[in-house]
A and B are shown apart, each in its own frame.
Chain A
Amino acid sequence: MSSHDGELGGGGRLLDWVTTTNHKTIGQLYIGGSLVFFLAGGLMAMLMRSELATPSLSFLSKNAYNELFTIHGTTMIFLFIAPIGLGFANYFLPLQIGAPDMAFPRMNALSVWLFLLGGVVIQSSFGASHGAAAAGWTAYAPLSSKVGSPGPGMDMWIMGVLLTSISSILTAVNLTATVFMLRAPGMTMFRLPLFTWNMLITSMLILVAFPPLAAALSMLFIDRHFGGHFFDPAHGGSVVLYQHLFWFFGHPEVYVMVLPWFGVVTEIIPVFSRKPLFGYIGMVLASMAIAALSMSVWAHHMFTTGAVDNPFFSIMSFLIAVPTGIKFFNWIGTMWGGKLVFSVPMLWCLGFMGNFLIGGITGVMLAAPPADYQFQDTYFVVAHMHYVLGGGSLFAIFAAIYYWFPKMTGFRLSEKLGRTVFWFVMVGFNVTFWPMFVLGLRGMQRRIAYYPPNVGWTTPNELATVGAFIMAVGVLIFLTDLVQAFRHKRPAGDDPWGGYTLEWITSSPPPEHNFEWLPPIRSDRPAFDWRHREDPRVVHDTHITVPGPGPGL
């Protein structure tokens, strides 16, 4: 294998970043960019929560509020949670499988630039005449039509999301090819780390789900500018068709945003339980089942249209709870009897489990059409979604940052500040979003900037706003932690946690092509095997075999 030179020589640091094709630098660009967008989306959330602290309109106009919730949702989904997962995958997937780089390094570079450019286009739409898009992150037709959303803001939203979609598809192709073709000798499919497995399955979801989104957006743009009538019932079109196309993307997208973090949590819990993962095969099959089922539940978002087969989508939605339950069972089984270490990454994982459980259970409630008819477009849905994506993904994102930061930089984050951040975010999160369940049950609609003062909505809204500020303090302490880590440069060592997977074998940060050497790979814990190679209890020559139609399947 021939090696590459990394960045263009002779230039400055900026030129190195601009011309990079190295997967680790590209991963850092993804992660850094996503975090900047997270702060932007968070700022929008704070503005909305401040507005909702009192019943009447105070400092935002109705249209400004509509723009804020649209771009907040778009930013968090398309520019933060999904791409930061791709960022961690870019950095760690090749390391975990013992590869020197991604399969297509230049396509990888193109992907990250398309993501960042798409993000810039979406954010800059605030400066457009008529303002940014204001039709919600789902951009339902006809609200997103030329009549419902005049001005270029909506068009910029379409093009920005299209750019990030192309980026995601290219990255998914790259990750899939890398896993299938660049594994180290002995790294069979059923020795892959669970994060890698989950990224492979996530990539499959992206490849199937994002093309319908690109089609829906293209058709919407044609309707807006080229006289199309795809979503115009007056000329034979169908607004329900837009919903079908959008949610065929939209529901798998939920799992594009969640499965990577299932993988992260599954990496971290065994390490901090000082035990092997309980039920490796079950975890892989559960991820596959979740992904497959997620492709067949899209219309549970459309129960109230009256135009879909509610029983079919309801049953398929209920079924997803089964593999998800298996995951919870296995995480608990891994911790059971383990020597638990409550370091910061583990705390975030436990927070993830608690919050995601609430999101999951309320998801089962929403999968029942009679209940969904009551909850549709209320704050109950807002609370559920935030418990899944905030309580689930966000907590695991923090877990990933605290777990892998030492590997990426060679420096330690502060354990003390990390715990402080965790408790601020944990308390703030629940104070923010739990009252939203109450608001939903009391009938408060989502996407409204003001509300009547005497219907029992004021106190929960005040609580939610206080919670949001508590979370914001937590995020500020997190930023302080990051700055201090780079300032104090306390060395972390190559393996500060006693990790199980191959990234903990190499130096921190890893060299240009990741590894100077590799240990024999004889299980799904090669780093652990190598560290304990003198211990007779470690069996080197066993490998997982499972009967079935495929190799190891």
Chain B
Amino acid sequence: MKGSMWFWAYVAAFGFVVGGIYWLLTYEDAGTAMLLFMGACGTVISGYLFLRRRHVRLIEDDPDARHEEATEEEIGHFSSGSVWPIFMGIGIAIGLLGFIFGRWMIVFGAILFVWATVGLMQESRG
């Protein structure tokens, strides 16, 4: 957990430091905004991990951990095969192509995407 936190903290620090230097040298808006945005993204993630650091202990961060220690650990449920992701993808593709070839396609793509998303959620709930 701490390793992840520091990883993102370094991303944030780099974005802010270089963004600041870049602004002072160039007064150019677009690049400065993108670098600072990079810093902000890193801050959000590392900040969240900082706040959660006392609540979560990852066994994989323990260099002497044994596999037996993880056998009782519930890390989540791996989904079964699902037909919904491909329909979600087709929905997104048709919706985007609708901006080129006709607005009706946007409606069709959106309906397909929402239908597939609902299907996926229902499937996830078992």
- Chain A residues at the B interface, C-beta cutoff of 8 Å: 1-8, 16, 18-22, 100-101, 103, 105-107, 109-110, 113-114, 117-118, 121, 152, 155-156, 159, 162-163, 166, 180-189, 191, 200, 204, 207-208, 212, 221, 225, 241, 244-245, 248, 288, 292, 295-296, 298-299, 308-309, 312, 513, 518, 520, 522, 541, 543, 545, 549-553
Contacts and interface: CB of A to CB of B under 8 A. Distances in A.
Interface in B38-85: 38, 41, 58-67, 69-70, 73-85
Contact of A183 (B60, B88, B100): B60
B90 A155 contact: no
Contact of B10 (A105, A288, A518): A288
A308 B2 contact: no
Interface in B75-111: 75-86, 88-90, 92-93, 96-97, 99-101
Nearest to A543: B63
Nearest to A115: B89
Given A113-B90, A152-B101, A551-B2, A18 B83 contact: yes
Contact of B77 (A4, A118, A513): A4
A378 B92 CA distance: 39
A200 B11 CA distance: 13
A309 B22 CA distance: 9
Contacts of A181: 58, 75
Contacts of B84: 106
B62 A185 contact: yes
A5 B9 CA distance: 38
Nearest to A183: B60
Given A2-B74, A200-B7, 8 more contacts: A1-B76, A107-B85, A113-B90, A212-B34, A245-B30, A309-B25, A551-B3, A551-B6
Contact of B78 (A2, A188, A296): A2
A163 B92 contact: yes
B5 interface: yes
Contact of A184 (B10, B60, B77, B92): B60
Q: A-B pairs with the 9 shortest C-beta distances? A: A550-B6, A113-B89, A185-B65, A109-B85, A183-B60, A4-B78, A7-B81, A543-B63, A19-B81
A309 B26 contact: yes
Contact of A155 (B15, B34, B100): B100
Contacts of A204: 7, 11
B114 to A, nearest CB: 14
